[in-house]
Amino acid sequence: MNMRDIHARVRHSRIVVPLRILAGTCALACAAIMANTPPIKPDHLQLEKVVMLFRHGVRAPLDGEVADPALARQPWPTWPVPASVLTPHGREGMRLLGVYDRELFSARGLLPSTGCPSSGSISIWTNTEQRTIASGEALAEGLAPDCHLPVGHQPQDSDDPLFHPLEAHAVPFDAQDAVRSINDQTGGPAYLTAPYRHAIQQMETILDCRAAGCNIADAPASLSLSSDGHGIDLKGPIQITSGTAQVLLLQYAQGMPLNDVGWGRATPARLAEISRLHALLFDIYARPDYMARRIAGPLSRHLLTLFDDAHSPRLNLFVASDNNIAALTSLLDVHFHIDSYGNDDPPPGGAFGIAVLRDPTSGKRYVRLFYQAQTLNQLRNLTPLTRKQPPVMLTLIANACRVPGTNVCRLADFEALLRRRLDESSAQAHPGNVAATP
């Protein structure tokens, strides 16, 4: 399964695994990371380190991302860049996030408020696609203009095991075990799509195919082993609608004229509803335990080393894809809902974050999880992100480790949770395969 181009690949209804394979004032936003409740005193906790896993910014559709172009009765709009490439609009959206994060983290003492950060205080490591590399470069420009922050990555279009562990053969994978485990845990694709008939009808309205008799909700749904035994075949409504929903969301986020966004039929309300159809793909390929432990495994183990290394950068930014975020948040059993998107649908440019906090009196260290993202309208309008106009910032609760009465975990408990979730599977990285990481 090529996880880089998962939406494009599902349209062929056969995916081979592996082929290549902070809202409110600034104070409120900072509170999303720093605030606390007794018995932990919020004024005493200091921000020590932050790790953020970003999704790349707005890009052009992937080749074949629309599951069945014949379902649309009108031609699809053209894009200003080639398929899969970060658009200039998307780059600016990422730069605006970098500007905001510099203000946010300098207010918390993590970074200086002006000038270039000290060498080694910020690390930016991206996946190898053009859209992730360019997104990292835009973040760096916003965080520290004219400072030429290095943006690290493996050779472009290679398989970095941190983000492409399946494609890089960095974890064991058995397609038959995957199919059985995913179907057992989720109930299968038909069960997953059953609550979303209205969203599918909204998609049919946007496509203007209902008069022609398209009945996507009742398309036969299955997840099975591919004929060669090495891959997964997905058929049915998720395969038909997920990539198409993403393309429609990207049209709006790109700032296309409203008449071109779903041919004028994709209203913001409809986009928010069909966004969940996009996220359903991850309920198959990234969020189930079998997949989450493999896709998020190498990165999770790398994060554990960052938490315990006193000399690691204070701000660590990773830029990858939506499936990476879906897998990591699932591994920790946390969910998110960004305004104007569906549940668990990672917005372009959004980031899942882990803030490490220290009590200077006791020396005890804690973790707070958060999700930062622009709303669709902020991204569409390229709204400058300021103290009065911050992006959405959600605090996420890891109930399996949180200190009672708070929304934080002790760092040691968080690390134990992550290790336990990883150790529940045989998906261990093969020695020597995770190389050239930051």
Segment 50-64 mean pLDDT: 98
Query: C-alpha distances in angstroms, 264 versus 28, 241, 311, 339?
Result: 36, 18, 52, 21
State residue 6's pLDDT score: 59
Helical ranges in 254-310 per DSSP H: 268-285, 289-295, 297-308
Segment 98-119 mean pLDDT: 96
Query: Could you give phi then psi for residue 380, rounded to 5 degrees?
Result: -60, -45
State residue 370's pLDDT score: 98
Q: Residue 169: which region, alpha, beta or left (left: phi > 0; alpha: psi -120 to 50)?
A: left
Look at residue 433 and tell me if it is in a domain. no
Look at residue 429 and tell me if it is in a domain. no
Q: Fill in the amino acid letter for 396.
A: L
Q: Does the pLDDT value for residue 283 go beyond 50?
A: yes
Domain count across the chain:
1
State residue 424's pLDDT score: 64
Q: What is the CATH number of the domain that holds 208?
A: 3.40.50.1240
Residue with tokens 């997953």: 192
Question: Which H or E element spans position 201?
Answer: helix 197-207
Look at residue 435 and tell me if it is in a domain. no
Q: What is the mean pLDDT of the chain?
A: 89
Query: C-alpha distances in angstroms, 329 versus 65, 211, 289, 323, 359?
Result: 24, 40, 11, 10, 26
Report the distance separating Cα 127 and Cα 133, nearest Å: 7
Q: Does the pLDDT value for residue 49 go beyond 90?
A: yes
Question: Which H or E element spans position 28?
Answer: helix 26-34
User: Residue 5: which pLDDT band, with cuts at 50, 70 and 90?
Assistant: low
Report the distance separating Cα 216 and Cα 218, nearest Å: 5
User: Residue 427: which pLDDT band, with cuts at 50, 70 and 90?
Assistant: very low
User: Residue 434: which pLDDT band, with cuts at 50, 70 and 90?
Assistant: very low
Look at residue 437 and tell me if it is in a domain. no
Residue with tokens 């998110």: 336
Print the domain residue range for 205. 3-423
Question: Each residue of 1-36: b (16+ CB within 10 Å) or e?
Answer: bbbbbbbbbbbeebbbbbebbbeeebeebbbbbbbb
State residue 38's pLDDT score: 46
Percent of the chain at pLDDT above 90? 82
Q: Does the pLDDT value for residue 3 go beyond 90?
A: no
Higher pLDDT, 203 or 69: 203
Report the distance separating Cα 284 and Cα 275, nearest Å: 15
User: Residue 388: which pLDDT band, with cuts at 50, 70 and 90?
Assistant: confident
Look at residue 124 and tell me if it is in a domain. yes
User: Residue 41: which pLDDT band, with cuts at 50, 70 and 90?
Assistant: low
Report the distance separating Cα 132 and Cα 57, nearest Å: 8
Report the distance separating Cα 309 and Cα 306, nearest Å: 5
Q: Does the pLDDT value for residue 151 go beyond 90?
A: yes
- Looking only at the bridges linking them, the beta strands covering 46-55 and 351-358 are antiparallel
Q: Does the pLDDT value for residue 27 go beyond 60?
A: no
Look at residue 431 and tell me if it is in a domain. no
User: Residue 42: which pLDDT band, with cuts at 50, 70 and 90?
Assistant: low
Q: Does the pLDDT value for residue 15 go beyond 70?
A: no
Report the distance separating Cα 334 and Cα 327, nearest Å: 10
State residue 73's pLDDT score: 87
Report the distance separating Cα 239 and Cα 235, nearest Å: 6
